[in-house]
Amino acid sequence: MRITILKKWRKRLPYLFWLLPIALVLFSYLLILKDLPSPTKLGAYDIPLSTKIYDRNGNLLFDIFAEENRTPVALSDIPDYVQQATIAIEDKDFYRHGGINPIGGMLRALYATITGKRLQGGSTITQQLVKSALLTPERTVTRKIKEIILAFWVEMLYPKNKILELYLNQVPYGGTAWGIETASEKYFDKSVGELTLAEAALLAGLPQAPTLYSPYGAYPELSKTRQQEVLRRMVEDGYITQEEADNASKQEFTFKQETGIKAPHFVMYVKQLLVDQFGEALVERGGLKVTTTLDLDLQEYAQTTVSAEVEKLMSLRVTNGAALITKPATGEILAMVGSTDYFASPSGSFNVTTGLRQPGSSIKPINYAIGIENREITLATMFLDIPSCFANINQPAYCPKNYDGKFHGPVQARFALGNSYNIPAVKMLYLNSVHTMVASASAFGLDTITDPARYGLSLTLGGGEVRMTDMAEAFSVFANAGIRHDLVAILKVIDKDGKILDEYKDPNLDKDVPSQLLLTGERVVSTETAFLMSHILLDNNARSAAFGSGSSLVIPGHAVSVKTGTTDDLRDNWTVGYTPQYLTVTWVGNNDNTPMNQALVSGITGAAPIWNKLMHKVLEGKADIWPKQPENIVNAQICELSGLLPAGEGQCAVRTEFFIKGTVPAEVENIKQQVIIDKDTSDIVEPNKPDANVEIQEHQVVRDALGTTWCLDCVHDETKPILIK
C-alpha cells in the first residue's frame, strides 16, 4: 500500500516543481507588487494631518503638525556644503551605487527590520526618499522589499542630482518643516542659500531622527552632538578641512523659537515618547489625538514659581531652575518645568528634568534604606560623626567632611539622615558596600548608576549622575510603601479614525489617597523599610539641628517627607519631597555647570523655597495623610546616646523609636566602663602592657556602627574620642 502511494506522488512531483514558482510569483504579487506605488508620484506631496496634544482636562497644548508647510527649491539653489553634509552623514556612496548599499547597508537594514532595533546607516538616500514619499512607516520585511524594488526603479527613472533634489525637498526635518528650505526658515529664520556650514551640518543631521535630534526636542543637547558627527564625516570624506570643522563646531546658534506651544518641555518629552512608540511619520502626519497626564493650571503655576524664585537667586550666581510634580501611586506627571524659560535662549530649551545632574545628599535615603532592608542597621544604630578616613587602592585616603564643616560626635541613624551628616552616610555606604548600592540603584529607577568600578564611597554624597525623572521614581518607592511606579505622561492615544492605539489604565488613577492594597508595580523594599524612611524624612525634630525647626521644608498642617541635596562643588541644589498623594522634585543651578555662590550653605535657600510653594499648592485643601504604619513595626524605648536598651529606670536619657519586629536591640547599655590609662601620656593602654605607669579609670565607652569601640570622654571633646579597639 505504502509503495503504491509513493509511486503516485513520484508521478506528480514534476507538476509540483512547476507549480512552486507560479505560487511564489502569485504570492509575491499579492504581498508585495499588487499595491506598489509608482515612483512617478515623487514630488506630488500628500497633505498630512495634524497631531494634537492635550492636557488631562482637554486643554490643547500643541499641534505637532498644524498645516502643510513645504517650500520646494531647485538643487542649484542649495549650497554645495548643504548637499555634501547630507551625503556625508546619510549616504557617502550616493553617487556610486544603484539605489541600495548591497553589503553593509542592506544587511543592517534587514537586521533592523527583523529585530525592530533602530540602526543608523541602513538605508541609502534613494531608499529614504522612497520610504518618506511613497511607503507607510511600518517596520516589516514586506515593506523593506518594496522599498528596495522602488529604489532600483527610481534610480532608472531619475538622474542622481534629481534624486538628491527630491530628497532635500521631501524628507522631514522636524515639526512642520518638510524639506531643507522650510527647515532653514523654521530653525534659523533664513533661506537655505544663506545657511552657514555650521547651520547646514546641524540640519543635515536631523532627518535620521527629527524629534530626537531637534534643538527644540526633549534632548536639545543631542542636536549639537549630531552636528559634530556630521562635520566629522565631512572631514573624513574630504569635503572640508579639520580647521573648517572646528570653526563651525564653535559657532553659537540663535534659533527661531517655536510659538503657540504650552508646557514646551513636557510636550517635547511626550513627542519623543510617541515617536519611540509609533514612529516619526505617524506622529508628524497621522492626525493623532493625544491626552496626557499634565495639569495645565498646575504646570503654569509651577513655571511661574520657578521663574520668580530663580530671579531672587541671581545674586547667588543661580540662573536656572526646574521642577517635576507627580502622583507617586500612578507615576502620572502633573507638571514638568525643564527651565526658567524655554524661549529665553538656546539653552532654555534644555530640559533639566531629563538631563544628568549630580544629586548631592538627596540620594542618601537610598543608601540608608538599603542598610535597613538588609538589617545592617536600625534607626537607633549609633554612628560616630568624627574625623574619619577610608583607604583607597592606589589613591589617597578618602576623608569626607560635613557640609557645615563640623563634627557632631555620637549620632543615631534617624538624626544622621535627618540632619544630612556626611560622615555617617559614608560609613553607611561602607557597611552596605558600593557594589550593593549600585546593584540596588536600578531597582529604585536610578539606571544611570551602573558600574561599581566608577564610584567610591562619595557615591552616597551624590558622586553619580541621575535624572530628576529617575529621582521621582526612586522616592515614589517610599511614598508607595516600597513599590516603584514608572513615570507616565500619556493617558490615551487615538488615531484619525477614532481607534484607540494606546491607553493607560491603573487601579489608582485619579485617586487622591490610594489604598496600599491597590498599588501595582515592582516591589523594591519592604513596607516596613519604606515606612521608616518616610518617617525619618517627615520628622522635623530629626533635622532641626541642621535646618532649624521652621525651615521651608515644613508644610504646616501636612506630614511631608523631604530631603535636600547640594553637591560639594555647589553646582547642583535639590529638594525632593512627597506625601502618599503628591511628589515634587526641584532643582536650581546653571546649565553651563558653573558653581553657585557659597551662600547656599544650608541646602534650603535654593531649591527648597520652590519646592515649598509647589507642595503648598498641590496639598491645598487636601487631607493630611501620614504614612500607614505596618503591623510589623513596633515601638521601643532606647538610650539617647548609644541606641541600646536602658539598664533600668533612670539609667540613661531615653527616647522612643520605631523598629521592624525582631530588630529591637537586645544589648543593654553599659556606657561606664573601666579603662586602663597611661598616667604619663594619658593614652589608653593595652592590658598587661609591661613597664607602663598605669591606672584604671572609669570612662564612657561606646561601639560605633562599624563595630569599633571608642572612649568618648578620655579627652574633653566628644567629637574627638579615642579608639580602644
Give me the chain's average pLDDT, please: 84
Cα atoms in the Cβ-side hemisphere of radius 13 Å centred on 618: 28
Give the contacts of 611 (CB within 8 A, at least 6 positions apart): 323, 552, 562, 575, 576, 577, 584, 585, 586
Mean pLDDT check: name the lowest of 84-98, 135-149, 153-167.
135-149
Tell me the angle at which helices 160-170 and 180-188 cross, rounded to the nearest 10 degrees. Answer: 40
Strongest mean pLDDT among 103-107, 398-402, 578-582: 578-582
Mean pLDDT check: name the lowest of 174-183, 394-403, 530-539, 687-696.
687-696
Mean pLDDT, residues 625-648 taken together: 93
Mean pLDDT, residues 181-202 taken together: 89
Mean pLDDT, residues 347-356 taken together: 89
Give the model's pLDDT for residue 28: 45
pLDDT level of residue 43 (50, 70, 90 thresholds): low
Classify 487 as helix, strand or coil: coil
Give the contacts of 217 (CB within 8 A, at least 6 positions apart): 174, 211, 223, 268, 271, 272
> Does the pLDDT of residue 494 top 80, yes or no?
yes
Strongest mean pLDDT among 188-192, 229-233, 529-533: 529-533
Mean pLDDT, residues 629-638 taken together: 96
Mean pLDDT check: name the lowest of 124-138, 162-176, 280-294, 641-655.
124-138
Higher pLDDT: 40 or 145? It is 145
> Does the pLDDT of residue 46 top 70, yes or no?
no
pLDDT level of residue 544 (50, 70, 90 thresholds): very high
> Does the pLDDT of residue 352 top 90, yes or no?
yes
One-letter amino acid at 41 equals: K
> Does the pLDDT of residue 150 top 70, yes or no?
yes
Q: Quick one: the chain helix, strand, coil %, rounded to 5?
A: 40, 15, 45
> Does the pLDDT of residue 27 top 50, yes or no?
no
pLDDT level of residue 118 (50, 70, 90 thresholds): very low
Measure the CA–CA gap between 487 and 53, rounded to whole angstroms: 18
Give the model's pLDDT for residue 35: 57
Percent of the chain with pLDDT over 70: 82
Measure the CA–CA gap between 8 and 119, rounded to whole angstroms: 51
Cα atoms in the Cβ-side hemisphere of radius 13 Å centred on 561: 28
> Does the pLDDT of residue 60 top 60, yes or no?
yes
Mean pLDDT, residues 398-407 taken together: 90
> Does the pLDDT of residue 67 top 60, yes or no?
no
Higher pLDDT: 512 or 93? It is 93
Buried b (16+ CB within 10 A) or exposed e, 545-581: ebbeeebbbbbeebbbbbbbbbbbebbbbbbbbbbbb
Measure the CA–CA gap between 181 and 168, rounded to whole angstroms: 8
Give the model's pLDDT for residue 500: 94
Distance of CA 404 to the CA centre of its chain: 30
Q: What is the pLDDT of residues 433-481, one digit of tens each?
A: 999 999 999 999 999 999 888 899 999 998 899 999 999 999 999 999 9
Mean pLDDT, residues 407-429 taken together: 95
Mean pLDDT, residues 6-24 taken together: 48
Mean pLDDT check: name the lowest of 7-16, 125-134, 203-212, 621-630.
7-16
703 bridge partner residues: 709
Distance of CA 300 to the CA centre of its chain: 22
Give the model's pLDDT for residue 516: 45
Measure the CA–CA gap between 293 and 128, rounded to whole angstroms: 35
Give the model's pLDDT for residue 157: 82
Give the model's pLDDT for residue 470: 97
Measure the CA–CA gap between 627 and 695, rounded to whole angstroms: 53
- The CATH number given to 302-619 is 3.40.710.10
> Does the pLDDT of residue 385 top 90, yes or no?
yes
Contact indicator for 296, 337 with CB cutoff of 8 Å: no
Mean pLDDT, residues 181-203 taken together: 89
Measure the CA–CA gap between 294 and 60, rounded to whole angstroms: 11
- Which part of the chain has CATH 3.40.710.10? 302-619
Measure the CA–CA gap between 226 and 80, rounded to whole angstroms: 20
Measure the CA–CA gap between 564 and 360, rounded to whole angstroms: 8
Q: Which residue has the cell 526636542?
A: 217
pLDDT level of residue 174 (50, 70, 90 thresholds): confident
* H/E stretch holding 492: strand 490-494
> Does the pLDDT of residue 68 top 60, yes or no?
no
Cα atoms in the Cβ-side hemisphere of radius 13 Å centred on 456: 13
Mean pLDDT, residues 190-201 taken together: 91
> Does the pLDDT of residue 255 top 60, yes or no?
yes
> Does the pLDDT of residue 559 top 90, yes or no?
yes
Distance of CA 637 to the CA centre of its chain: 41
Round the CA-based radius of gyration of the chain to a whole number and report it: 32
Cα distances (Å, whole numbers) of residue 510 to 53, 323, 372, 489, 583 = 20, 21, 32, 14, 15
Higher pLDDT: 14 or 203? It is 203
Mean pLDDT check: name the lowest of 239-253, 495-509, 672-686.
672-686
Percent of the chain with pLDDT over 90: 49
Measure the CA–CA gap between 606 and 609, rounded to whole angstroms: 7
Mean pLDDT, residues 659-678 taken together: 88
> Does the pLDDT of residue 194 top 80, yes or no?
yes
Q: What is the pLDDT of residues 209-254, one digit of tens each?
A: 888 888 877 777 888 899 999 999 999 999 999 999 999 898 888 7
List the Cα angle 534/330/327 in 5-degree steps: 60
- Which part of the chain has CATH 1.10.3810.10? 40-290
> Does the pLDDT of residue 606 top 50, yes or no?
yes
Give the contacts of 601 (CB within 8 A, at least 6 positions apart): 403, 404
Give the model's pLDDT for residue 521: 74
Give the model's pLDDT for residue 641: 92
> Does the pLDDT of residue 381 top 60, yes or no?
yes
Give the model's pLDDT for residue 70: 62
> Does the pLDDT of residue 30 top 50, yes or no?
no
List the Cα angle 139/143/145 in 5-degree steps: 125
* H/E stretch holding 161: helix 160-170
Tell me the angle at which helices 527-538 and 364-373 cross, rounded to the nearest 10 degrees. Answer: 140
Give the model's pLDDT for residue 100: 79
Helices (H), 589-718: 607-619
CATH architecture under which domain 40-290 falls: Orthogonal Bundle (1.10)
Q: Is the pTM of this model over 0.75?
A: yes
Higher pLDDT: 28 or 709? It is 709
Higher pLDDT: 229 or 315? It is 229
Contact indicator for 20, 27 with CB cutoff of 8 Å: no
Give the model's pLDDT for residue 508: 55
